Structure 1
């Protein structure tokens, strides 16, 4: 299996970095509060690429992780993303990081230490290109164990959710019409902004059902669209987007508990629940397939084995089986953009313009009005030549 290689980058400066501390044990939730220049304080073992991309996009000054950003279980891509972007990463700072820091504290990062005022509150390991490369190389050696665990998780999920996968049992009755239509499912994942941008002509022409998975609904609104449906646990969708009029489907646990429903009640927004052990993006695909969508286009979702492992969750087994279930109608956004992109050469465009001009000329020549117009033009041309002849 081919993995991304670590490009040579300039190592981050080892001088002190000052900023405001923003803390959250869930990186996805923290990103919504971060501002450029803040220092992100996270508790994220095996930092994945999606989380790292979001931290880089916000413009954080540094990332402080209470846990190891790479545990060695598999070659996760998050540390590489941060190092290549020049964002200082301090690892394995310990639980004291969350005990000694408070939201909004002005802090400094000096070498491998975290300071509040002149007091060192935590020390960790400062990562650079070389240390990340070593961790990636060590992790590759453990891939076989992870693949075995992935296969075991897949079989366990199949036992739990075979009725949903095979017969659609448990899929809620929704108002949004999918039958015979294309469905565009947006997850705030890998390269989602670029994919949405290249799909604009496709969306204009086919007018697919727009489904936002959690923060993917905000991504649709940011791109200028209004989602038809929002599905997920509702922990990373803004209040304004939840009130946009889209149909809401809350991802619930298999036993029926749906923590996201409390937020819907608070906002007075009607919602359905969808109990299942799968991920929210998988539920969106299964729902679209069960309701008769003719094509499912995925933006920002997980498509390769490295991306499955990069999420670092047993639940990713559902993603593998879901793709087997809906694979006949599932297309990645990058594939749609390549297939849909117009490839008109310059010579073809010139030929088209010349043909249009010739057609207009023929129409003018055979019509009565056209003949009269040509006679006027001919007389004007003769007069012009006569006047030029008089001058010379």
Structure 2
């Protein structure tokens, strides 16, 4: 593997698509083996496993790699991997090969008499207006997520949620998905965009988590590794800021210039480099209003022109063969939550967990665990509803005396 030589005293920087080429090269060297992102990152001399994971997801979307397993997440080579390892390529969405330059007109032999000149006349330019791109087609069938699970699109104002998000991206309109944890915000975003890079926000998120930082190479030098924001801008990809409202506002402000008309950021820690967003770059956010510390500021809200509420789809829970009694408990608690009688109700994530627990250790155990899952201030109401559905003998999980 070769990279461009760096100027003396400076760390080399990978050009666009080079990391993806290197990842493909590792896969191609042992095409029958299944590789984890971490193993590939180690093979590449300590690259970021997150960056390698994003490269693998892009290779998979292009058919240049395939997912071999999900627990742990592994990838293997396909018939196209060897070609992907030959040269770094970056093709933003919608890009087409450049047209060949027109051939010059054949020269005419010189004549003894010059052609009479005609007076210059200015004619208004007549150009046909550009044809707008066709809108993304309606998607109603299941869509495979990066983890291999299938996402079933939900209705959104006459469209499917996947279709709507893809059309918003094409129009450059950022969207904010909000709702309780476990309702499927991440799932729909991953289903809508196969070139996604993600920032998982929390109170400890710093600017470097967006733009990147210097990392040490095996030979002791330091090179700059671009973060998710800079990567998405340079490669024309979608950026998902999950739990955006948990990130300190002073840190989140680094994204604002990329989302407005400037469409660029300044990386002060990397020689004041200016990164411009190429076509295809898009930002989508996730917000959990009920989570402690989540604050949707005016500055953040104004950047997301579309804001979509994501409630739990209890009909989908039935389709997924979640126990009907558990679904009935969840619906009851959700209705009470809407009335303001309590602050918590089981979402799809908790219902899926309920089925797994019930299969492992029994229905009574899973029902007791549902009570324990509720916040302490809501536990009495939840226990009442659970007992009304599953029976009065259900108790919260608690260790008893020795056998």
Q: Is TM (by shorter chain) over 0.5?
A: no
Return the index of the structure with the highest Cα Rg.
Answer: 1
- TM-score (norm. length: structure 2): 0.22
**Quick check: which one's helix share is greater?**
1
TM-score (norm: length of structure 1): 0.22
